[in-house]
């Protein structure tokens, strides 16, 4: 069966797909997001319009599904892909009088398509385009899926004449989607590496992760006129991403030096924006500060404790964990009296890698803080994401970030 499916979209998720799926579920509602295969989900938007890839930290590529076929053979898969590309390119030529186009083809989890098949498909499309008077530049495949860097640098999906076809194999279906964009790795690198004030001692929060934290805190609320509080703002990464998304940003930090760093980094970002962002900064202890209202949502990376180059001893872990829990408990108690019921929070709290154990469950080799130990009087509800929660980590790091989503009762 071959059917059109134009109202649906797909996301090719990032390195930790559970974070990207949770991000989409937060923004769109869990009922509008479902798995196609490992690392790929399909989703619906309220207005049937594509999401902006630049807002999402957990999605490498987005696309609009144009066809779905049930158990197609290799020949059928290639035929549908060929017709899909010719129909799209012919439409672009007619609508825009385009005489040049760029084409990339990616196969994801496809058991029948190899690199050679994709190159033959591309050359067949190129030959057909030449007969129509259209010059087609075919991007070569080193692997079945084009890298995010290749898609980004060639602007695939960002304009009609730069096309990437995504062919996604699932259990019983194959989906054909036209890309609507790939992560802007150039902009991420500039925001991360070119900021004027950096401090490795307080940790380096990646901009992609900051976006995920903000989107988990946002839920389905519009960012228009919303004021986001980061009470552990550090060097201002979450504030910078919030400002770029259109939020009013409000940051506090215990150390005046961090406020100075945030101000310098936010001035750097503001100089690149068309409109001056609404940002407020002031020193403040998150366990005691009275924040200036309004506070519409809270997104922050809390105190992660001291860095480690190897898993800590049991005694040391108990000590560091107790310190972090005490700060978190005092912060959440202080905040509870200052925000309205229904206010959403996303906190990146610490988790610690343990010595290798045999338990295969994701997250089992980390010591994690139980959120219910942080607000015994019940000021918050915990939003659950899967059996193992949302843990952001790298294999070479001891201290991970556990993403905790709370809603004020």
Closest CA to 73 of 36, 110, 37, 35: 110
Q: Let me know the angle formed at the C-alpha of 385 by 33 and 214, rounded to the nearest 5 degrees.
A: 80
What is the distance between the alpha carbons of residues 362 and 311, in angstroms, rounded to a whole number? 17
* Residue 134 CA neighbour count, 13 Å, CB half: 26
For 382-408, what is each residue's pLDDT tens digit?
999 888 899 999 988 999 999 999 999
Report the pLDDT value the prediction gives residue 377, as an integer from 0 to 100.
Answer: 74
Report the pLDDT value the prediction gives residue 26, as an integer from 0 to 100.
Answer: 97
What is the distance between the alpha carbons of residues 400 and 355, in angstroms, rounded to a whole number? 14
Report the pLDDT value the prediction gives residue 347, as an integer from 0 to 100.
Answer: 98
Report the pLDDT value the prediction gives residue 242, as an integer from 0 to 100.
Answer: 97
- Tell me the three state secondary structure of residue 136: strand
CA 368 to each of CA 29, 70, 218: distance values in angstroms, whole numbers, following the listed order:
27, 43, 24
For 95-110, what is each residue's pLDDT tens digit?
777 789 999 999 999 9
Confidence of residue 5 (pLDDT cuts 50, 70, 90): very low
Can you spell out the DSSP letters for 278-302? -EEEEE--TTT--PPSP--EEEEE-
- Tell me the three state secondary structure of residue 149: helix
For 64-78, what is each residue's pLDDT tens digit?
999 999 999 999 999
Confidence of residue 4 (pLDDT cuts 50, 70, 90): very low
Most confident of 143-152, 368-377, 385-394: 143-152
Helix pair 115-131, 74-96: axis angle to 10 deg: 40
Average pLDDT over residues 290-305: 97
Confidence of residue 361 (pLDDT cuts 50, 70, 90): low
Task: Specify the higher pLDDT residue, 3 or 169.
Answer: 169
Percent of the chain with pLDDT over 70: 95
Q: Whole-model pTM? A: 0.94
> At residue 360, does pLDDT exceed 70?
no
Polymer length in residues for the chain: 409
Report the pLDDT value the prediction gives residue 235, as an integer from 0 to 100.
Answer: 95
What is the distance between the alpha carbons of residues 59 and 33, in angstroms, rounded to a whole number? 13
CB 402 within 8 A of CB 391: yes
Closest CA to 77 of 145, 172, 174, 152: 174
CB 113 within 8 A of CB 128: no
CB atoms near residue 281 (< 10 Å):
20
* Mean pLDDT computed over every residue of the chain: 93
Average pLDDT over residues 166-194: 95
Check residue 390 and give left, alpha or beta (phi > 0: left; psi -120 to 50: alpha): beta
What is the distance between the alpha carbons of residues 157 and 153, in angstroms, rounded to a whole number? 11
> At residue 364, does pLDDT exceed 80?
no
> At residue 115, does pLDDT exceed 80?
yes
For 194-238, what is each residue's pLDDT tens digit?
888 877 666 689 999 999 999 999 999 988 899 999 999 999 999
Task: Specify the higher pLDDT residue, 91 or 352.
Answer: 352
> Residue 163 CA to chain centroid, in angstroms?
23
Average pLDDT over residues 320-347: 97
For 37-90, what is each residue's pLDDT tens digit?
999 999 999 999 999 999 999 999 999 999 999 999 999 999 999 999 999 998
For 254-281, what is each residue's pLDDT tens digit?
999 999 999 999 999 999 888 889 999 9
CB 57 within 8 A of CB 212: yes
Average pLDDT over residues 293-306: 97
Can you spell out the DSSP letters for 175-214? EEEEEEEE--HHHHHHHHHS-S---GGG----HHHHHHHH
For 6-26, what is each residue's pLDDT tens digit?
459 999 999 999 999 999 999
Take residue 288 and report the two structure tokens written for it: 């005691």
């Amino acid at each position: 069966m071959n059917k059109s499916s134009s109202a649906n979209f797909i996301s090719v998720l990032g390195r930790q797909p559970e974070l990207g799926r949770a991000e989409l579920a937060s923004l769109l509602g869990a009922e509008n997001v479902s798995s196609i295969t490992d690392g790929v989900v399909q989703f619906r938007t309220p207005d049937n319009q594509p999401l902006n890839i630049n807002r999402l930290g957990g999605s490498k590529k987005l696309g609009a599904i144009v066809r779905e076929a049930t158990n197609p053979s290799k020949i059928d898969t290639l035929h549908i892909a060929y017709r899909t590309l010719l129909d799209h390119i012919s439409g672009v030529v007619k609508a825009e009088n385009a005489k040049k186009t760029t084409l990339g083809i990616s196969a994801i989890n496809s058991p029948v398509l190899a690199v050679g098949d994709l190159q033959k498909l591309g050359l067949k499309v190129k030959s057909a385009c030449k007969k129509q008077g259209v010059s087609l530049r075919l991007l070569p495949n080193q692997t079945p899926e084009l890298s995010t860097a290749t898609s980004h640098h060639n602007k695939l999906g960002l304009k009609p004449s730069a096309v990437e076809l995504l062919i996604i194999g699932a259990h019983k279906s194959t989906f054909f989607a036209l890309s609507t964009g790939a992560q802007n790795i150039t902009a991420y690198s500039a925001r991360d590496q070119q900021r004027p004030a950096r401090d490795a001692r307080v940790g380096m929060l990646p901009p992609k992760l900051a976006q995920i934290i903000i989107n988990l805190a946002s839920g389905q609320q519009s960012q228009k006129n919303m004021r986001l509080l980061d009470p552990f703002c550090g060097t201002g990464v979450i504030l910078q991403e919030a400002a770029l998304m259109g939020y009013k940003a409000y940051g506090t930090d215990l150390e005046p030096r961090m406020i100075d760093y945030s101000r310098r980094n936010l001035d750097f970002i503001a100089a690149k924006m068309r409109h001056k962002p609404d940002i407020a900064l002031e020193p403040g202890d998150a366990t005691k500060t009275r924040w200036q209202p309004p506070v519409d949502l809270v997104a922050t990376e809390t105190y992660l404790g001291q860095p480690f180059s190897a898993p800590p001893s049991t005694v040391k872990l108990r000590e560091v964990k107790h310190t972090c829990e005490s700060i978190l408990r005092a912060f959440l108690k202080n905040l509870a009296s200052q925000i309205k019921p229904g206010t959403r929070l996303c906190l990146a709290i610490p988790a610690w890698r343990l010595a290798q154990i045999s338990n295969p469950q994701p997250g089992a080799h980390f010591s994690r803080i139980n959120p219910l130990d942080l607000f015994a009087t019940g000021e918050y509800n915990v939003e659950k994401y899967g059996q193992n929660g949302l843990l952001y980590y790298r294999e070479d790091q001891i201290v991970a970030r556990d993403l905790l989503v709370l809603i004020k009762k």
